[in-house]
Structure 1
Amino acid sequence: MKNALIIHPVVLCGGSGTRLWPLSRQSFPKQFVPMLGGKSLLQLTLERVAGLGPQVLTVSAEEHRFMVAEALDLAKVNGPLILEPQPRNTAAAMALAALWAQKAHGDAALLLFCPADHHIPDGEAFSDMVQGGAVAAQAGAILTFGVLPSFPSTAYGYIKQGAQRPDGSCKVDQFIEKPEADKAQELLLQGRVLWNAGIFLARADTLLSALSHWAPDILHPCQQAMTAAVTETTAAQKTFVRPESNSFCQARSQSIDYAVMEKHPDVVVLPFNGQWSDVGSWNAVAALQQPDAEGNRVSGQGLVHGATNTYVHAPHRPVVALGTHNLLIIDTPDALLVAHPDMAEQVKDVVARLNAKGQPEALTHRKVARPWGWYDSIDRGERFQVKRIGVKPGASLSLQMHYHRAEHWIVVKGTAEVTVGEKTFLLSENESTYIPIGQVHRLHNPGKMELEMIEVQSGNYLGEDDIVRLEDTYGRR
């Protein structure tokens, strides 16, 4: 499709995704999880918006920057990454993006704001929808997109459409919060309502003017933060934009819906007829799978027998549902969720309880992504911990030391270049080495295939904060 106008996509990569626990966790939210055909929702979103403009701007948390950068590479998309020092909801994230775009492309830059974690399989229909709204946005309206509802959902907000305008959009008469079931049914019977998809199109100056009027306590700290922002271009040609932290953290945390959309007089809406899901609950994830004749849906190594209306997510090991009815079963290496579909929206409450009890599984996976690869904590005792470590081709861990632990490394796949003190040497498969407490060391993968090794840590303290980085390719401290 040939675009009539250049649109600058902005992908908002925040959000903790607690309703998809235990698959999605704070350290690895749902937008980064390979969920559909081996691709993450973020990668699919980047691929979907890539043809709309020359670059894609992303806004994410500092701690997720390398996962965003990897998704950009997988989607074959370029663009700067704005890194929020702290989460401040969508109004502040959109303000940062609009300020950057205004400086880079001018007041009239058309910005398309998309959540990173939505599933829209028809990319061409999506692009047509966006281009169809460009006239209204270019004329100074803030355009939002609504989805034609297919059932009376209580999980989505609604938009009530008003009079149609000459440009094909409709005035927004009312934003309606997530309703109770009877209210949702009533809304559908009334007609002229859409699900609120949380996708917006506006000129940079239009959005900034609206923020200045309705939410100056959000915009002004963002302006100060971007004025003092630090920009870094890495060796991998990734541009990280870091707003000044103290100023940004003064911004009020609020969604763009509350901060601007529900108050601004010139907000319009266009309907989207294509398939859409915010993948916001395990019911929504299950709906992405084709059911069998008994209504069962299975992902991975799940097996159902004598079951009905059961969803099994089992990517790592066999999970059997025998004679079950109306269940969601979600298996991960370190946590298992069994839930009735009617309670799917309450998963976030369970996560809050686990977090209050100090359960690490509430926030982090056993397998943790790192810019150089990953590690998987496979066993732990009072004075030892065992990890599987994977290092990408050409990647290196930091030059580092530990005060409280020694380490044994055994290579099980690939070749490792190891630095211990003044010595640097190669280890092949089935070879090992020992890193004493306090010894400076580094691990590098010089090969063209992933390096995998087993690390056995021993000592009186095994926390991840027992690390002194002397030199780091990724700018970590």
Structure 2
Amino acid sequence: MLLPVIMAGGSGSRLWPLSRTLYPKQFLALTSNATMLQETVKRLDGIKHQAPLFICNEEHRFIVAEQLRKGGMDSSGIILEPVGRNTAPAIALAALKAVANDEDPLLLVLAADHVIQNTEAFLSSVQHAKIEAEKGRLVTFGIVPTHPETGYGYIHRGEALNNDAYSVDAFVEKPQLETAKTYVASEEYYWNSGMFLFKASRYLAEIEKYAPDILVACQAAIDNSTVDLDFTRLDKAMFMECPDDSIDYAVMEKTQDAVVVPMDANWSDVGSWSALWEVNNKDEMGNAIRGDVLLENTSNSYVYSQDKLVATVGVDNLVVVETKDAVLVAHKDKVQDVKGIVGQLKKSSRYEYLQHREVYRPWGSHDQIAEGERFHVKHVVVKPGERTATQMHYHRAEHWVVVKGTARVKNGDKNYLLTENESTFIPIGSAHSIENPGKVPLELIEVRSGSYLSDDDVVRTEEYGAGY
């Protein structure tokens, strides 16, 4: 049986300001109304498989769970990494989890942040790869190159096998442009996609052979893990002992059983704004737009509006991206340098690299819509049947005004209902929470006032709902 393993880690900093550390690109809807994570799962509908197993950062756990719920998608579980340790350990964790029930499925390892426009070609390559993987080979998928790309590693194919597969002659680092041109002209090289297919037991055997310290650390982290609903929480101290290494370096470059199956499926890892422009539909002037956008004498540009009208006049070859708290304007040929802006934000300890103005929580979301020296105003949404943690503050009071739905409020020793156009006051030091007992989202305006308004002024007396 085929078990998809979907790796949903990473920060996607080159797609800032849309992608943030706490809400990276795999959770964004960039090419359709579905997120990249959801598109990755939907792509598997044409092949028989088990419910996918997901691997993500601890801080992204509720985003993954919520996007699967919204998409009506099942899972075989979600493994939470307390720290990132690259792809070799992540896949080892999935393989250990897969064989725990005395099963040995084929692991189809996919990244949650790739675009594949030709699903039929993708599924055809998977079917070819299954035949080789069943023989005990470790298959990687090589993307048939469309141009001499210097941003990808390459795979040099060797001897031709059956089933449209080849032995791997070598994995090659990102080349200079002239070298990349010779690779493409030879038709013997493929882009390294970072997608794989192999038996769980074969991967474990090879990593035990070539990187035993990774296997030992992952086994210890799994053996001492805890299970909470669909989440597998690894032992942090033990997993931190694991070396940081990619599957290419740890296993694929060393094994004698590496096989490459070509894939010509309009693939992209969407590693930059220019790459996103390439995979989106364009108008007759070569512009790709999304959101509330007006163009005048504009060409070959990508323009994205999240919250406000964005208008461009007389520009060419630009990327313009507007979010609720930031605007990026970049030349399309220089978008790789966006990571430099992210580095500046980190160095200055600005929140814009870390999260959006609108913050998602297990119970809903909150969006800061105004602020001053002694006040903050937030739009809070609580999902039906959910509530926030019970908490108190020492430096701020809060006013809540319900604008939609019904709220059940705990305020000190009082419990009461609020409906639309009703309000309440939460004094300093009063333990409080808010619950949505209804069937529609609860929306309220929260006004914080006081001498200190940061989120770290909080004492939680109950962790239900994972806090504010």
Q: Report TM bin, short chain.
A: over 0.9
> Which runs of 5 or more residues in structure 2 are unaligned?
none
Residues 183-207 of structure 1, C-alpha deviation per residue, up to 9 Å, x if partnerless?
Answer: 2222111211111111111111111
In structure 2, the partner of 1:230 is 226
Which residue of 8, 16, 23 maps to 2:11?
A: 16
User: How far did residue 288 of structure 1 move?
Assistant: 2.6
User: How far did residue 475 of structure 1 move?
Assistant: 5.6
Q: Any idea what SS the aligned residue of 1:83 has? A: strand
Q: Any idea what SS the aligned residue of 1:417 has? A: strand
In structure 1, the partner of 2:313 is 322
In structure 2, the partner of 1:449 is 440
Q: Does the 8 A contact of 1:43 with 1:74 survive in 2?
A: no
Q: Any idea what SS the aligned residue of 1:160 has? A: strand
In structure 1, the partner of 2:83 is 86
Residues 426-465 of structure 1, C-alpha deviation per residue, up to 9 Å, x if partnerless?
Answer: 2122211111111111111111111111111122222222
Which residue of 195, 204, 216 maps to 1:208?
A: 204
Which residue of 42, 46, 67 maps to 1:47?
A: 42
Distance 2:384 2:117 in 1: 32
User: How far did residue 342 of structure 1 move?
Assistant: 1.5
Structure 1 pair 47–105 and aligned structure 2 pair: CA distance change class (3 A) = farther
User: How far did residue 476 of structure 1 move?
Assistant: 6.1
Query: Within 5 A, what are the aligned runs for 1:75-224?
Result: 75-79=71-75, 80-106=77-103, 108-224=104-220
Query: Which amino acid letter does the alignment assign opposite residue 37 of structure 1?
Result: S
Taking every aligned residue pair, what percent have the same amino acid on both sides? Answer: 45
Query: Which amino acid letter does the alignment assign opposite residue 99 of structure 1?
Result: L
Residues 345-366 of structure 1, C-alpha deviation per residue, up to 9 Å, x if partnerless?
Answer: 2212221122111121111111
In structure 1, the partner of 2:426 is 435
Query: Which amino acid letter does the alignment assign opposite residue 297 of structure 2?
Result: G
Task: State which drifts further: 66-75 or 456-465.
Answer: 456-465
Cα root mean square deviation, aligned = 1.6
Structure 1 pair 476–82 and aligned structure 2 pair: CA distance change class (3 A) = farther
Q: Any idea what SS the aligned residue of 1:34 has? A: coil
Query: Which amino acid letter does the alignment assign opposite residue 32 of structure 1?
Result: F
User: How far did residue 250 of structure 1 move?
Assistant: 0.7
Distance 1:468 1:241 in 2: 27
Distance 1:293 1:115 in 2: 32
Normalised TM-score (structure 2): 0.96
Structure 1 pair 191–32 and aligned structure 2 pair: CA distance change class (3 A) = same
User: How far did residue 404 of structure 1 move?
Assistant: 2.2
Query: Which amino acid letter does the alignment assign opposite residue 277 of structure 1?
Result: S
Distance 2:102 2:63 in 1: 26
Query: Which amino acid letter does the alignment assign opposite residue 280 of structure 2?
Result: Q
Q: Any idea what SS the aligned residue of 1:223 has? A: helix
In structure 2, the partner of 1:371 is 362
Distance 2:275 2:183 in 1: 21
> Which runs of 5 or more residues in structure 1 are unaligned?
1-5, 234-238
In structure 2, the partner of 1:416 is 407
Residue 283 of structure 2 is aligned to residue 292 of structure 1: yes
Residues 132-189 of structure 1, C-alpha deviation per residue, up to 9 Å, x if partnerless?
Answer: 2112112111101111111112222211111111343101111122222222222111
Q: Does the 8 A contact of 1:8 with 1:52 survive in 2?
A: no
